[in-house]
A = this chain, B = another copy of it.
Amino acid sequence: MIKTFNDMRNELMASGQRHRIAAVCVYDKATCDALHQVEEEGIASTFFIDGETPEDAAAKGVQMIHDGKADILMKGLIGTDLLLKAILHKEKGLLPAGHVLTHISVAEMPTYHKLLFIHCSEKPSPKFPFVDGYQDIKQMAEMNSFGPCLVDGPLDVKSACSLHALKAKGISSVLNGEADVLIMPDIEAGNAFYKSMTLFAGAHTAGVLCGTQCPVVVPSRGDSTEAKYNSILFALVSL
């Protein structure tokens, strides 16, 4: 059972697999160090992709995935917009028709007993942007549409992650205060949660783009080596 980033690493090391990362524009120390670390630990092979322009490098990285020469794409010191443009390219990109591009973050905190995944909801209705559709989604979950998982909501963060808070509110939930995943109502709430957990709750975090043909590691420029390393682990275990 993976409950920490360290568990992720141990699982990857035990698997003996060595997936390949195509990293685009590795010009900063944190990205470089994170890639060296996974290479040294033997959990991945890394390719540093350069180009005459950032656009060119991004296209090359995406092409490596298409050619089956790499399993994961990673962003170095290149604008996220430029990499996304290559990923979203209609013919040469990495997003299959009909797939939804999603960014999933995961946080490890000393005050929660397991990893907590966070992503934002899609296409809210303009009329009831945040409370519409819950019943439908819960029914779909009960019919196993999302695989073996329990879904409940709307719930506030405390009721979702604390049985004590749930009981104090006098409500019940199939989650029992044991949420593994929080789907935030919008990017504003997601961002406020994510940033404040890092700053005030000592959270270690990672993030990966999903919905694409392969996991894409898209760290922020300001992310530490550790955050970039954790994001690589997250991409590797999601393969």
Within 8 Å of chain B (Cβ to Cβ): is A195?
Answer: yes
Cβ contacts under 8 Å, A199 to chain B? 111, 157-158, 161-162, 165
Cross-chain contact A198 with B158 (CB below 8 angstroms):
yes
Partner of A156, one of B162, B195, B197: B195
Stretch at the interface among A56-64, A81-89, A181-189: A181-189
Cβ contacts under 8 Å, A143 to chain B? none
Cβ contacts under 8 Å, A6 to chain B? none
Within 8 Å of chain B (Cβ to Cβ): is A202?
Answer: yes
Instruction: Identify which of residues 104-161 in chain A touch chain B, using a CB-to-CB cut-off of 8 Å.
Output: 109, 111-112, 130, 156-158, 161
Complex Cα distance A186/B197, Å?
Answer: 18
Nearest CB to that of A177 among chain B residues?
B199
Instruction: Identify which of residues 204-233 in chain A touch chain B, using a CB-to-CB cut-off of 8 Å.
Output: 221-222
Partner of A112, one of B157, B190, B200: B200
Within 8 Å of chain B (Cβ to Cβ): is A168?
Answer: yes
Within 8 Å of chain B (Cβ to Cβ): is A97?
Answer: no
Q: Mark A161-174, 1 if CB is under 8 A from B, else 0.
A: 11001001110000
- Which of A168, A195, A199, A203: most chain B CB closer than 10 A? A199
Cross-chain contact A192 with B184 (CB below 8 angstroms):
yes
Within 8 Å of chain B (Cβ to Cβ): is A201?
Answer: yes
Cross-chain contact B222 with A169 (CB below 8 angstroms):
yes
Complex Cα distance A156/B184, Å?
Answer: 16
Nearest CB to that of A182 among chain B residues?
B192
Within 8 Å of chain B (Cβ to Cβ): is A27?
Answer: no
Within 8 Å of chain B (Cβ to Cβ): is A10?
Answer: no
Cβ contacts under 8 Å, A189 to chain B? 186, 188-189, 191-192
Cβ contacts under 8 Å, A221 to chain B? 169-170
- Write the nearest CB–CB distance from A88 to chain B, whole angstroms: 23
The 3 A-B residue pairs whose C-beta atoms are closest, nearest first, are A168-B222, A200-B201, A201-B201
Contact surface of A with B, Cβ cutoff 8 Å? 109, 111-112, 130, 156-158, 161-162, 165, 168-170, 184-186, 188-193, 195-203, 221-222
